[in-house]
């Protein structure tokens, strides 16, 4: 066995990584430190999650304190007071009417939980034929069987084609590079793509459709920003046909766009919001599904004392995650990090768009502290150029993320102007030498 082969790494070309590993040893603020002691500027918040930056002492000490006090408490028929307090705090920043939270351990679990809540809700209200789901091309909703089925990532769909949920349709993606290239903020063209939902509804009949799920801004597929008016149109069509709308805010939740959630940023309120990542700033795994009161009432406003929803995880609201989450939310509030994201967004936008004339660049797009620089693909080797850019940037002390031929940025919300300057200068040099 080759050195390092015991660890089968997730979503990684294991063979190529292990030939030249990119290792991270410690972290603080905006930086990782490599085993050789050199620093790496983190322009992706780890994996879109460390919104408060790394190792904030307030979060570290909350986790340490909880670990010493109580390691674990079950939430099947028992409860930890801190989890109830946390839920109350969290629903203060959700849009009005979204008042309940179901805790999970990851974004994938949040997505599968939301899909199950949608199915169970329809059945509870006597509409048990409403079972179909509608997702979108190029969507990433994690790796559960539900998530990959509503997701639209071709490689995933190919590898697991035998195990997709039945009864799923996909809206077209909204990445119209020929019409919207180099857009700043919401792209101007493409709202009419939401009308495809009408076509799908007409095909299957609303009596057979449970819910529509979309990422307000697609992250993993390369930062695909919704065209002006698109999300509002989806909401209107869902209302017209009595379909639930789920926003997957695993990336956009907790300040990445400047508001607590994309729902507020774009003034479109879904029926459920799936989250993870920024919930605890990545410090302890945790996910959460935020649920509209009218859904919750369908389960609870009935006589009886049976279990209302046959679903849950051993680690739902794990004490360490609850402690990390409570402290993270305090850091967001105390340091005004969502406002900071909004304030830094124009600087970030200017920086990214200054790369317009750099070699290989065919599009740049951004919203809040999410951004992408798309490169022209190399003939016969999609993604190869961007992977070389990732390696060169890492060697030069900047961590970026790539997906296909797109370089994605989603820095911690504590980012400063000088970091943006360093990242942009590094990426320009990398592209010039690619």
Ligand X SMILES: Cc1ncc(COP(=O)(O)O)c(C=O)c1O
Shorter beta-carbon distance to ligand X: residue 78 or 155: 155
CB of 46 to ligand X, least distance (A): 11
Q: Which residues contact 165 (CB under 8 A, 6 or more apart)?
A: 133, 145, 146, 149, 150
Shorter beta-carbon distance to ligand X: residue 116 or 297: 116
CB of 112 to ligand X, least distance (A): 9
Shorter beta-carbon distance to ligand X: residue 111 or 431: 111
Return d(Cα 393, Cα 230) in angstroms, integer.
Answer: 35
Q: Using CB under 6 A as the criterion, which residues of the chain lie in contact with ligand X when the complex forms?
A: 48, 106-108, 111, 140-142, 215, 219-220, 248, 250-251, 276
CB of 14 to ligand X, least distance (A): 18
Q: In which residue are the tokens 């907790």 written?
A: 254
Q: In which residue are the tokens 């750099």 written?
A: 358
Shorter beta-carbon distance to ligand X: residue 139 or 337: 139
CB of 218 to ligand X, least distance (A): 7
Shorter beta-carbon distance to ligand X: residue 316 or 422: 316
Whether the CB-CB separation of 45 and 51 falls below 8 Å is answered with: yes
CB of 421 to ligand X, least distance (A): 27
Return d(Cα 33, Cα 338) in angstroms, integer.
Answer: 26
Return d(Cα 429, Cα 434) in angstroms, integer.
Answer: 9
Shorter beta-carbon distance to ligand X: residue 43 or 392: 43
Tokens of 159: 């590898």
Shorter beta-carbon distance to ligand X: residue 108 or 426: 108
CB of 356 to ligand X, least distance (A): 27
Beta bridge pairs of residue 41: 31, 398
Q: At what angle do helices 337-353 and 417-433 cross, to 10 degrees?
A: 30
**CA distances from residue 22 to 145, 386, 410 in whole angstroms, order as listed:** 30, 16, 19
Q: In which residue are the tokens 């040893």 written?
A: 25
Hey, how many other C-beta atoms are within 10 angstroms of the C-beta on 304? Answer: 7
Shorter beta-carbon distance to ligand X: residue 106 or 426: 106
DSSP secondary structure letters along 148-191: HHH---HHHHHHTGGGPPSSEEEEPP---HHHHTT--SS-SS-G
Shorter beta-carbon distance to ligand X: residue 273 or 373: 273
Q: Which residues contact 36 (CB under 8 A, 6 or more apart)?
A: none
Q: Which residue lies nearest ligand X, judged by its C-beta?
A: 107
- Per DSSP, helices labelled H in 241-336 are 262-265, 293-300, 319-334
Shorter beta-carbon distance to ligand X: residue 94 or 106: 106
CB of 262 to ligand X, least distance (A): 11
CB of 378 to ligand X, least distance (A): 25
CB of 303 to ligand X, least distance (A): 36
**CA distances from residue 246 to 9, 105, 238, 355, 363 in whole angstroms, order as listed:** 30, 18, 10, 35, 29
User: Smallest Cα–Cα separation from 90: which of 246, 254, 216?
Assistant: 254
Q: Which residues contact 5 (CB under 8 A, 6 or more apart)?
A: 14, 18
CB of 11 to ligand X, least distance (A): 9
């Amino acid at each position: 066995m080759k050195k390092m082969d015991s660890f089968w790494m997730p979503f990684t070309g294991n063979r190529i990584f292990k030939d030249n590993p990119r290792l991270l040893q410690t972290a603080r603020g905006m930086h990782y430190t490599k085993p050789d002691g050199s620093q790496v500027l983190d322009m992706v918040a780890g994996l879109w999650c460390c919104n408060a930056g790394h190792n904030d002492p307030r979060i570290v000490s909350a986790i340490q304190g909880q670990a010493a006090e109580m390691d674990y408490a079950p939430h099947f028929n028992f409860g930890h007071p801190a989890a109830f307090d946390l839920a109350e705090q969290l629903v203060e920043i959700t849009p009005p009417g979204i008042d309940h939270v179901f805790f999970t351990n990851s974004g994938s679990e949040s997505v599968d939980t939301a899909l199950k809540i949608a199915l169970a809700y329809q059945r509870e209200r006597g509409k048990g034929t409403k079972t179909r789901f509608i997702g979108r091309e190029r969507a990433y909703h994690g790796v559960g069987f539900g998530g990959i089925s509503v997701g639209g990532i071709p490689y995933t769909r190919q590898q697991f084609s035998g195990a997709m949920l039945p009864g799923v349709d996909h809206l077209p993606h909204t990445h119209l590079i020929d019409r919207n290239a180099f857009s700043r903020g919401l792209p101007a063209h493409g709202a009419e793509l939401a009308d495809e939902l009408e076509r799908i509804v007409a095909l299957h009949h609303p009596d057979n459709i449970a819910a529509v799920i979309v990422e307000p801004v697609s992250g993993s597929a390369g930062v695909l920003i919704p065209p002006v008016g698109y999300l509002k149109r989806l909401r209107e069509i869902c209302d017209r046909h009595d379909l639930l709308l789920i926003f997957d805010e695993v990336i956009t939740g907790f300040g990445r766009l400047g508001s607590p959630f994309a729902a507020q940023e774009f003034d479109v309120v879904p029926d459920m919001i799936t989250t993870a990542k920024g919930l605890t700033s990545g410090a302890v795994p945790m996910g959460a599904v935020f649920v509209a009161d009218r859904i919750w009432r369908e389960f609870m406003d009935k006589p009886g004392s049976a279990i209302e929803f046959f679903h849950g995880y051993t680690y739902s609201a794990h004490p360490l995650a609850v402690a990390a989450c409570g402290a993270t939310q305090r850091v967001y509030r105390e340091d005004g990090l969502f406002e900071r994201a909004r304030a830094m967004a124009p600087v970030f936008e200017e920086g990214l768009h200054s790369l317009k004339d750099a070699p290989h660049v065919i599009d740049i797009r951004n919203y809040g502290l999410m951004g992408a620089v798309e490169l022209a693909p190399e003939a016969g080797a999609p993604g190869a150029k961007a992977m070389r850019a990732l390696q060169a940037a890492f060697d030069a002390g900047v961590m970026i993320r790539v997906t296909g031929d797109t370089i994605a940025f989603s820095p911690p919300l504590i980012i400063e102007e000088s970091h943006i300057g360093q990242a942009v200068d590094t990426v320009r040099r990398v592209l010039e030498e690619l």
